[in-house]
Amino acid sequence: MIENLKPFAPGEKIMEGTFISRIFKNDGDDRLSVLFDDDTIKEYAEKCIEHFNNMPDEMVDLICSGIIKCAEAGGLDEEFELPEIENVRDILEYCWFTTMTVDISENDGISYVIEGEGDWGEVVGFVIKNGNLAYVGDEFEEYL
């Protein structure tokens, strides 16, 4: 499931790899990076990826609705104007995701952060804590 696994930087315990995303795409690709503390939690990281790729449609729709609110709030690109969105998942045409950061601090469930960026020029992400959606927006870094 996790491919291209290697230390994030020479001499670091943090590991980085890639995985294929079922819904949330990278810029023109379906591979996202995954970061986790060390190779002893690789199995846990793979469970997070499995959760991510199999999240319920309702959760995906809630994430997309949250991303729409971020896009409507605007960003650095003042020329960007969000077209009318008919289906909440249409927002995925205007943003991309790059990285999953696995959070092992919550030992009682699946926890991770997904980060990316929108065409409106702002970072955007969402947080899963204990298998549930905890946050969608541009201040997801406080969960890392």
pLDDT in tens, 81-122: 999 999 999 999 999 999 999 987 756 689 999 999 999 999
- Residue 45 is predicted with a pLDDT of 94
Cα(18)–Cα(106) distance, rounded to whole angstroms? 22
The whole model's pTM is what?
Answer: 0.91
Pick from 18, 25, 24: nearest CA to 4: 18
Kindly report, residue by residue over 42-68, the tens digit of the pLDDT. 999 999 999 999 999 999 999 999 999
Q: Which domain holds residue 120?
A: 3-143
CB neighbours (10 Å) of residue 67? 25
Domain count across the chain:
1
Sheet holding 3-7, edge to edge: 3-7, 15-20, 31-36, 95-102, 112-118, 123-129, 132-137
